[in-house]
Amino acid sequence: MLTHALTVGPAPNGRPGYLRVDTVHQGDLDGKKGVYHINSIDEVSQWQIAASVEQISESYLEPILLIILSQYPFHIFEFHADNGSEYINHVVAKLLNKLLIKLTKSRSRHCNDNALVECKNGAVIRKHMGYFYINQKSAPEINDFYMKYFNPYLNFHRPCGFAALKTDKKGKQKKVYNLYQTPYEAFKGITEEYKFLKTGISFEKLDTIAKECSDNEFAEIMEKEKQKLFKKIKVNPVDF
C-alpha cells in the first residue's frame, strides 16, 4: 500500500482525471481564524471543484476531500499538491489509496508543476470570494453555495482558455490561446464515455444540466446567490 506521495511533474497524457489541488486562506482578523478554500482542477479539461473548510487539519480535510472527489463526473487517477503538510500526510495518502488514486507532489525547483491551480486561485477563487476576512464558521454556508451554484457555473457555463504550443522558425515554443470552451465542452471533446465517466453518470444527464440555462442566465443566478451568501454570513470587507 502506498503511504507516501510520489514526487513527479504533470503527465496526464491527454486524459482527464489528473487533479491539481491547492489551498486559499481567507485570512485572520483580531485573532479569529478565517475560512480555507480547497481549490481543485483537472489538468486536461480544467473541470474545477471548489470547497470550503474551517481548518486544514487532517480531521477536517478527509471528509471535505471526499466531497470534492464525489463532485467530479469522471474517475480520478491522480491527486497532485505542492509540498504542504495538509495534503502530504498519511491520512490523505491512506484515503486516496482506498480510492485507487495516486498521490503526487511537486518537484523541488519546478514552480510550474502546480501552476494551473495556482492561476485559478486568483482568477476564480479570489475574484469571486475576495481578499477580505471570512470567519471559519461560515464554511458550511460557503460549501452549500459552491455545490449548488458556483461549481456548476464554473464547469458548465464559464469558458476557459486552452493553450496550444506554437513553434516559430527558430524552434522557440510559446503557448497560444485560440480555443475557449467550458470544461464540460472540453471534457466531451477528449473522452469516450465508457472510459472515464463514473457509474450512473451519462452525457445525456450532463447535457441536461448544461442546457438548463444559458451561460449568461446562470452567471446572473450565481452572482445573486453569492450576494445572498455574503449577506447571510455577514461578510465585512476588511483586508487582512
Region 29-58: what's the mean pLDDT?
Answer: 94
Distance separating alpha carbons of residues 9 and 179, to the nearest angstrom: 24
Is residue 108 within 8 Å of 215, Cβ to Cβ?
no
Q: How many CA atoms lie within 13 A of 208 on its CB side?
A: 4
Higher-pLDDT residue of 1, 169 = 169
Position 107 scores a pLDDT of: 61
Give the mean pLDDT of the chain. Answer: 89
Q: Which long-range contacts (CB under 8 A, 24 or more apart) does 82-87 make?
A: 82/22, 82/106, 82/113, 82/114, 84/23, 86/23, 86/56, 86/57, 86/58, 86/61, 87/5, 87/21, 87/61
Enumerate domains of the chain plus CATH numbers.
Answer: 6-158+218-232 (3.30.420.10)
pLDDT range class, residue 14, cuts 50, 70, 90: confident
Cell numbers for 120: 485559478
Residue 24 bridge partners (DSSP): 37
Three-class secondary structure of residue 185 per DSSP: helix
pLDDT range class, residue 187, cuts 50, 70, 90: very high
Q: Which long-range contacts (CB under 8 A, 24 or more apart) does 7-13 make?
A: 7/104, 7/105, 7/106, 7/107, 7/108, 8/104, 8/107, 9/106, 9/107, 9/110, 9/113, 10/43, 10/80, 10/113, 10/116, 12/43, 12/44, 12/78
Query: Radius of gyration over alpha carbons of the chain, in Å?
Result: 18
What is the separation of C-alpha 104 from the centre of its chain, rounded to a whole number of angstroms? 16
Instruction: Please classify residue 67 by burial: count the beta carbons closer than 10 Å to its beta carbon, then call 0-12 exposed, 13-18 middle and 19+ buried.
Output: middle
Closest CA to 74 of 151, 179, 184: 184
Position 146 scores a pLDDT of: 98
Which of these ranges, 6-10, 70-74, 103-107, has the smallest mean pLDDT?
A: 6-10
pLDDT range class, residue 236, cuts 50, 70, 90: low
- The model's pLDDT over 74-127, given as tens digits with 9 standing for 90+, comes to 999 999 998 777 888 889 999 999 999 999 987 655 566 678 899 999 999 999
Inform me whether the pLDDT recorded for 28 exceeds 70: yes
